[in-house]
């Protein structure tokens, strides 16, 4: 395997990229199986080169083989399906997701032949810098499951369900490590959702205390990663939804900050901070001193306008009131295409955003 600089990095990104035109057209034409894979295998190396060319030391496959950032992974777990229903899907600001919903059908486990293991290997074989893969975090398996969609009786007991999810992810972490992955990112966005009064009220209506749920989600996450080898870095991304440049939640990190920083052995935190929906920077004060690193998303993927370097520097000046500059880095607030539909910007605008990430890291930390 190629020798590369080990994470964490000052300049990074969340993972998803706008789908190359050829892949989007192939999906639109209904290509599947080997025919679709052939197109993906041809186009993804160019996505990897683009990331390398802008100066990033870490690359992904842009999640170009996925329809959704989370459902593609979760739907291929044993005992867990993603089903399509009639009507509209989950509500985002001004739009709706396609009507797909999770359903528990039996005992959960991570299959040894999960396709994303090979997805990672493909990236590793086509880059000379650090390969990374992002997968949905453990909270994602639980958050949208209801009593009606949990068809496996033992999991009606919440702690039994939480334990099964943690065990499944523990096996996933080991499988990725055995495949050569040394930088695994878990997109555990529902910690941020549980800072939104609307989503907190919804969980209360389901009979769950949101703060108890945050604690349980932190426990699941830590159980999943606590036994990883010392040379495996774990990243964690939090946002409030990202579909066609819209969102599904708003509110600060205050409710979740202690849990994510101090109850989970995560190394790198990707935190959405591109507008007022994310609240203030004050929760960063709870980050323990040491090697943990926060990458505040001061650069947005939702709009094409390029942020000012001076404005970003001012935001870092504000952040250092709460956390040492040596424990910070920079990344966009989310992916550019959390679903195959993509956000409202062009590939050129996406590239300029990634170039800005690298420029900021050079300007503030002299990372070369």
Instruction: Find the mean pLDDT for residues 168-197.
Output: 97
- If you average pLDDT over every residue of the chain, what do you get? 95
- Which residue would you say has higher pLDDT here, 75 or 94? 75
DSSP character string of 289-324:
SSS-EEEEE-B-SSS-PPPPHHHHHHHHHHHTTTS-
Could you give the number of structural domains in the chain?
1
| Amino acid 38: pLDDT | 98
Question: How far lies 304's CA from each of 346, 347, 349, 350, 368, in Å?
Answer: 8, 10, 6, 8, 26
Is a pLDDT exceeding 60 seen at residue 35? yes
Report yes or no on 150 lying in a domain.
yes
Q: Measuring CA to CA, which residue among 1, 147, 53, 64 is closest to residue 335?
A: 64
Is a pLDDT exceeding 90 seen at residue 1? no
Q: Measuring CA to CA, which residue among 119, 11, 135, 19 is closest to residue 69?
A: 135
Q: What is the pTM (predicted TM-score) of this model? A: 0.95
Report yes or no on 206 lying in a domain.
yes
| Amino acid 91: pLDDT | 61
Are the C-beta atoms of residues 56 and 13 closer than 8 Å to each other? Answer: yes
Instruction: State the Cα angle at 6 between 269 and 186, rounded to 5°.
Output: 35
Where residue 82 falls among pLDDT bands split at 50, 70, 90?
very high
Report yes or no on 277 lying in a domain.
yes
Alpha carbon distance 47, 62 (integer Å)? 7
Report yes or no on 5 lying in a domain.
no
| Amino acid 367: pLDDT | 84
Region of 171 (left: φ > 0; alpha: ψ -120 to 50; beta: rest) is alpha
CA atoms within 13 A on the CB side of 338: 25
| Amino acid 89: pLDDT | 67
Instruction: Find the mean pLDDT for residues 35-59.
Output: 98
For position 300, which CATH number holds? 3.20.20.210
CA atoms within 13 A on the CB side of 1: 15
Instruction: Find the mean pLDDT for residues 323-334.
Output: 98
Query: Domain span at residue 199?
Result: 21-365
Report yes or no on 16 lying in a domain.
no
Where residue 248 falls among pLDDT bands split at 50, 70, 90?
confident
Is a pLDDT exceeding 80 seen at residue 368? no
Are the C-beta atoms of residues 298 and 274 closer than 8 Å to each other? Answer: yes
Is a pLDDT exceeding 70 seen at residue 332? yes
| Amino acid 95: pLDDT | 72
Residue 67, helix vs strand vs coil = coil
Alpha carbon distance 167, 82 (integer Å)? 20
Q: Is 30 exposed, middle or buried (0-12, 13-18, 19+ CB in 10 A)?
A: exposed
| Amino acid 84: pLDDT | 85
| Amino acid 67: pLDDT | 94
Report yes or no on 14 lying in a domain.
no
Report yes or no on 6 lying in a domain.
no
Axis-axis angle for helices 347-365, 33-53 (nearest 10)? 40
Lowest mean pLDDT among 22-26, 98-102, 363-367: 98-102
Q: Measuring CA to CA, which residue among 277, 135, 262 is closest to residue 192?
A: 277
Report yes or no on 11 lying in a domain.
no
296 contacts: CB under 8 Å, gap ≥ 6? 271, 273, 281, 284, 315, 316, 319, 328, 330
Determine what percent of the chain is predicted with pLDDT higher than 90: 90
Digit-coded pLDDT (tens) for 203-219: 999 999 999 999 999 99
| Amino acid 366: pLDDT | 93
Where residue 152 falls among pLDDT bands split at 50, 70, 90?
very high
| Amino acid 219: pLDDT | 98
Are the C-beta atoms of residues 185 and 133 closer than 8 Å to each other? Answer: yes
């Amino acid at each position: 395997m190629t020798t590369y600089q080990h994470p964490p990095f000052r300049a990074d990104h969340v993972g998803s990229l706008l789908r190359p035109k050829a892949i989007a057209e192939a999906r639109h034409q209904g290509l599947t199986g080997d025919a679709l894979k052939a197109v993906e295998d041809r186009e993804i190396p160019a996505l990897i080169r683009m990331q390398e060319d802008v100066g990033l030391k870490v690359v992904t496959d842009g999640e170009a083989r996925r329809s959704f950032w989370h459902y593609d992974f979760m739907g291929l777990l044993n005992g867990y399906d993603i089903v399509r229903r009639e009507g509209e899907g989950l509500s985002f600001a001004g739009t709706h997701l396609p009507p797909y919903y999770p359903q528990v059908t039996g005992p959960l486990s991570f299959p040894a032949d999960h396709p994303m293991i090979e997805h990672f290997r493909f990236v590793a074989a086509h880059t000379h810098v650090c390969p990374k893969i992002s997968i949905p975090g453990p909270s994602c398996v639980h958050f949208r499951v209801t009593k009606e969609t949990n068809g496996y009786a033992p999991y009606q007991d919440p702690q039994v369900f939480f334990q099964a999810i943690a065990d499944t992810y523990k096996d996933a972490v080991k499988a990725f490590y055995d495949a050569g992955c040394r930088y695994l990112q878990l997109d555990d966005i529902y910690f941020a959702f549980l800072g939104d009064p609307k989503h907190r009220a919804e969980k209360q209506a389901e009979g769950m205390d949101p703060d108890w749920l945050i604690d349980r989600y932190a426990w699941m996450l830590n159980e999943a990663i606590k036994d990883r080898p010392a040379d495996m870095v774990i990243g964690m991304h939090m946002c409030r939804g990202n579909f066609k440049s819209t969102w599904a939640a708003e509110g600060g990190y205050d409710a979740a900050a202690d849990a994510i920083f101090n109850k989970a052995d995560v190394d790198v935190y990707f935190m959405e901070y591109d507008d007022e929906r994310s609240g203030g920077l004050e929760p960063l004060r709870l980050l323990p001193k040491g090697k943990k690193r926060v990458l505040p998303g001061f650069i947005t993927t939702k709009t094409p306008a390029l942020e000012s370097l001076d404005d970003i520097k001012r935001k870092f000046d504000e952040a250092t009131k709460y956390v040492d500059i040596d424990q910070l880095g920079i990344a966009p607030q989310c992916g550019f295409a959390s679903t195959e539909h993509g956000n409202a910007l062009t590939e050129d605008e996406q590239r300029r955003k990634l170039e800005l990430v690298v420029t900021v890291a050079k300007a503030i930390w002299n990372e070369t």
